Amino acid sequence: MSERPNILWYCTDQQRHDTIGALGNPHINTPELDAFCARGTTFTNTYCQSPICTPSRGSFLTGRYPASTHIHRNGAADFPRGETLVTKMFADAGYDCGLAGKLHLTSAKGFEKRTDDGYRAFHWSHHPAPDLDPAHHAYHRWLEDEKGVDPRELYPPRGFCAAGVPAELHQTTWVTETAIRFVEEKRDGPWLLSLNPFDPHPPFDPPASYLERYDPASLPPPLFRPEDIERQKAFRAITQQTVDAMDPRGAMPTAALSEAEARASAYKPPESFNGQEVKAAYYAMVELIDHEFGRLLKALDAMGELDNTIVIFHSDHGEMLGDHGILYKGCRFFEGLVHVPMIVSWPGRVGENVRSDALVELVDIAPTLLEAAGLPVPSAMQGTSLWPILTGAADPAHHKPHVVCEFNDALGSASNAASSHGSMYFDGRYKHIVYHGTGLGELFDLETDPGEFVNLFDDPAHAGLRADLMRRHFDAMMGTSSAGAERISIY
Amino acid sequence: MPRPANLLFLLSDNHARGYIGAYGNPLARTPNLDALAARGTLYENAYAASPLCCPSRAALATGRYPHQTGYWDNAIPFDGSHESWMRRARDAGHTAISMGKLHFRDSRPANGFSQERHAMHILDGRGGVHMLLRAVGREPVNEGQWPLYIGRSGVGTAPYQGFDKKVTAEAVGWLRDEAPQQEEPWALFVSYPSAHPPFSVPEPYYRAADEIAASLPADWDRPEVAASHPAVRHLRHVMNIKAIPDEGALRKVIAGYLALCEHLDTEIGAVLGALEAAGLTDDTRIVYTSDHGEMGGAHGLFGKFCLYEESIGVPLIVAGPDIPAGQRVAAPVSHVDLAPTIEDALGVAPMAKDDRPGISLWRADDIAARDMAFAEYHAAGSSSGSFMLREGRWKLIYHVGMPAQLFDLGADPHERHDLGPAHPEASRLEARLREICDPEAVDARAKADQRRWLDHYGGPDSVAAEPLLVYTPPPGSAAEME
């Protein structure tokens, strides 16, 4: 067995923080993640650096903030020169790196033009629907070659929320199958495997066998008060896939969709929806992830690989899921969208059944993994290693004083995709948000208002607090911008 | 057009350009090939059509690139279903006889030769079926490859050398006894499995590794430079390529390879001697080339399987009546040029409409005016198709789904500095490449064909469970499996 640990890096897409049973959600069934929490250290206050895929992934894969990577947009033409993925660093250090699922650092329409990413095995499947270049779509190759299934027939147009493909043919299942094969490959050194399934990203289409496990009526409705509709109107020019907030107690759409409309439902929400129905489907998707993640860990254990493997589970960003009348994502910073799950394990090395409620950021992952593997952390990395907390050398209640998140013209798929720019500063109690150039902002006191219903931004009684937060927010955002190349002389 | 004359086509396996004295390697002991170059013309920038036995040999036979025929890999070899120079020669009344390694599917009249003697084909008509698994992203690690180079280079014997001698004996006998009876110009194809590894060579040829004093291949000790590209990284994984332990280990491999090349040269010398003894030298043109090269430790790699110069570049020497002596041609030429070249040499009537990409080497002006060479690869150790366009000093290696590599061979002949896809020359060369084929479409077609053959052999799981072939055995020897 090699001395350096293997790394299993499981990153779901658009999974909220509050989707793991053991972390306080009695309505979702996640036995495998619950058990995983008991075997590792859970960071209960993890924040993404952007509520959108590409900037978030570009950030945690480089250990640098979007303001420094210049990776801001989904659909980008190119990966910036000069940025180095941590997977590339591991590959250069002798790791055999593989990927199954999406990468999404540049435009993924058709296929994704790779950068020098360090992956030796690259089983790409950006999303399961059959509108990608089939030559590059590894999941569809698997469906056709090994399951004898035509992906086009498996993915007929469905609504934004409906029973989807059966579990045995699901992309989430394929991710586990591909992972097992990767680990079984013969090699001398350690491996790193990025597993990036598309779920629980919309459309909300779990297998029927999972969907039937949830009774929508028994689930708590989204965080919503009728005045949300009015409150959100002020922000309707700011990019958001749900342009106009709507009452999440509405009817589910019943009209049949054209193929184009069905494909667009991955980013275009319906005219009305029922938040409990959507939540049931979303939870069912997470439960399939839970099952497949658990199956993978058991397979690794059977192969004797688990003891020397760091396993990290997290998501790239969240999902509004009807909170405040909003579905999907955009230039918003509500908890559902920016607060994500994160759990780390390494038997015998990482604390078991530990809960860290420190503020942490996804940008901290890359330096953590490097330090855990005994590799140098480049000075250009801006995240702060969590290794001291993971090993019990540091207080799990403290890591950094604040977290930040940013949206900079990140999303082309919203119908109001103007060049919105927003940023968030959160110190563990106050969340301060500025929609740059608009005069708009939000200020929530999560201690008294965890549901983020009361915007104090323009409340004269909180002007002093706002001024203080504005200064701290300004400092924090400036702190995310790298000063660039090291200084080698005084001028 | 040349006057019709006989043609002796000498083909070796895995003989890199750099391992011939006439190509400038003072350590290579290849007196017969050097003498052939001295009385003939040497092409400094000749390329195979694909850096692997079967696709390369199919292109030699047909004069077409793999994407034009679908002979992609060592499990989908030439099977005679496309037109070939030998079939055209035979049908025009010439004897076209083969001796030795063909690496087609099997012996069948449709291959086109009048006769195949000591024919060596893919194993059991199936060949390297594991490389088909690339099409589904499941090509297994070929564990035997590394010990084949690092473990077995040195003094010893390998089954190929005895087979080489049989081929030589057959060719010598034919030139002595049968060639004089031919009424029409003939084509004799003599094909050796050397200098394919293992580089395990008897004492008279092998000289101690410490005598190999020359400079070592570029970046042999910096494999991470090339492996920064995902295609190279994947190749290293599948071919089980590890860090070369030390200079001594590398020198041993090179010493073995040099010795094997010397053995090969001796065999070739015997055939050329028989030609001379038969009094046929003045009436016979000679072509020497190899099916592909050998990395030989450059960039830390062994084997072929890639589009670096050491792997896709090949020696090409032609000599004989009306061929200028001592001439060296810098213009890029390709194996696809050889089919029309051979037909011209024999006097086979031209095709009514010849849409093959090659140019007969007899059309020296056309060759001199040509400024580019193309090659492609869709087989072992590659997860997606790669394509080469060499033009003047520039060389583009386009990879489907991965960044393109660009090298300035004028300033960087050893391809140590990848200028990358953002360089303006990269997009210009890519545009030229796309005039030849659509890389993405070709990649999809190759994989679709490979998946069909996987299905034919019982599907990916079944093929993956089979033992892995390390190298194709010569007739009469057992296959070496992992």
Q: Looking at the partner chain, which of B136, B242, B402 has a beta carbon nearest the beta carbon of A188?
A: B242
Most B CBs within 10 Å: which of A85, A88, A99, A122, as the mutation test of the B interface? A122
Residue B183 belongs to some domain of the structure: yes
In terms of domains, do A428 and A326 share one?
Answer: no
Q: Alpha-carbon torsion B429, B433, B434, B439, what sign?
A: negative
Which is more confident, A477 or B364? A477
State which residue of chain B sits closest to A111, comparing Cα positions: B401
Using DSSP, state whether B11 is helix, strand or coil: strand
Domains contained in chain A, number: 2
Give the integer Cα–Cα distance in Å for A11 and A57.
9
Range A378-402 average pLDDT: 97
In terms of domains, do A168 and A227 share one?
Answer: yes
Most A CBs within 10 Å: which of B130, B132, B138, as the mutation test of the A interface? B138
Q: How many Cα atoms occupy the beta-carbon half-sphere of A20 within 13 Å? A: 25
Domains contained in chain B, number: 1
In terms of domains, do A219 and A326 share one?
Answer: yes
CA distances for B55 relative to A338, B61, B396, angstroms: 53, 10, 20
Using DSSP, state whether A8 is helix, strand or coil: strand
Q: In the prediction, which pLDDT does B209 show?
A: 58
In terms of domains, do A333 and A436 share one?
Answer: no
Query: Tokens for B273?
Result: 């001697």
Q: Looking at the partner chain, which of A145, A178, A185 has a beta carbon nearest the beta carbon of B451?
A: A145
B55: enclosing H helix or E strand: helix B53-62
Residue B118 near residue B364, CB atoms below 8 Å = no
CA distances for A284 relative to A29, A140, A143, B103, angstroms: 8, 23, 22, 54
Domain around A420:
405-479
Residue A484 belongs to some domain of the structure: no
Q: Does residue A306 carry a pLDDT above 60?
A: yes
State which residue of chain B sits closest to A177, comparing Cα positions: B138
CB contact under 8 A, A135 and B141: no
Q: Does residue A2 carry a pLDDT above 50?
A: no
CB contact under 8 A, A145 and B447: no
Pick from A401, A424, A453: which residue ends a domain? A401
In terms of domains, do A333 and A347 share one?
Answer: yes
Q: Looking at the partner chain, which of A113, A181, A186 has a beta carbon nearest the beta carbon of B138?
A: A181
Q: How many Cα atoms occupy the beta-carbon half-sphere of A389 within 13 Å? A: 27
Query: Tokens for A411?
Result: 């999303």
**pLDDT tens readout for residues A404-443:** 999 999 998 888 767 899 999 999 999 999 999 999 999 9
What is the three-state SS of B279-340? CCHHHEEEEEEECCCCCCCHHHCCCCCCCCHHHHEECEEEECCCCCCCEEECCCEEHHHHHH
Give the integer Cα–Cα distance in Å for B98 and B171.
9
Average pLDDT, chain B: 94
**Plot region of A222 (φ>0 → left; ψ -120 to 50 → alpha; else → beta):** beta
Residue A486 belongs to some domain of the structure: no
**pLDDT tens readout for residues B223-254:** 999 998 999 999 999 999 999 999 989 999 99
Residue B451 belongs to some domain of the structure: yes
Range A111-139 average pLDDT: 91
Give the DSSP letter of residue A210: H
Residue A20 belongs to some domain of the structure: yes
Which is more confident, B204 or B324? B324
Query: Tokens for A481?
Result: 């911008």
Residue A488 belongs to some domain of the structure: no
CB contact under 8 A, A91 and B233: yes
Q: In the prediction, which pLDDT does B470 show?
A: 85
A406: enclosing H helix or E strand: strand A403-408
Domain around B107:
6-481
Spell out the residues 6+ positions from residue A152 whose beta carbon is closer than 8 angstroms to its own.
A130
In terms of domains, do A50 and A151 share one?
Answer: yes
Partners of B116 in beta bridges:
B98
Q: In the prediction, which pLDDT does B57 show?
A: 98
Q: Does residue B214 carry a pLDDT above 70?
A: no
In terms of domains, do A412 and A294 share one?
Answer: no
Residue B21 belongs to some domain of the structure: yes
Angle (nearest 5°) at CA A152 between A149 and A153: 60
Q: Looking at the partner chain, which of B227, B228, B460 has a beta carbon nearest the beta carbon of A146?
A: B460
Range A470-485 average pLDDT: 94
Q: In the prediction, which pLDDT does A1 show?
A: 40
CB contact under 8 A, A116 and B242: no
**CATH for B264:** 3.40.720.10
**CATH for A453:** 3.30.1120
What percentage of chain B's residues is helix, strand, coil (to nearest 5)? 40, 15, 45
In terms of domains, do A209 and A189 share one?
Answer: yes
CB contact under 8 A, A114 and B224: no
CB contact under 8 A, B440 and A135: yes
Residue B1 belongs to some domain of the structure: no
Q: Grade residue A3 by pLDDT with cuts at 50, 70 and 90.
A: confident
CB contact under 8 A, B136 and A146: yes
CA-wise closest residue to A430 among A324, A333, A331, A318: A333
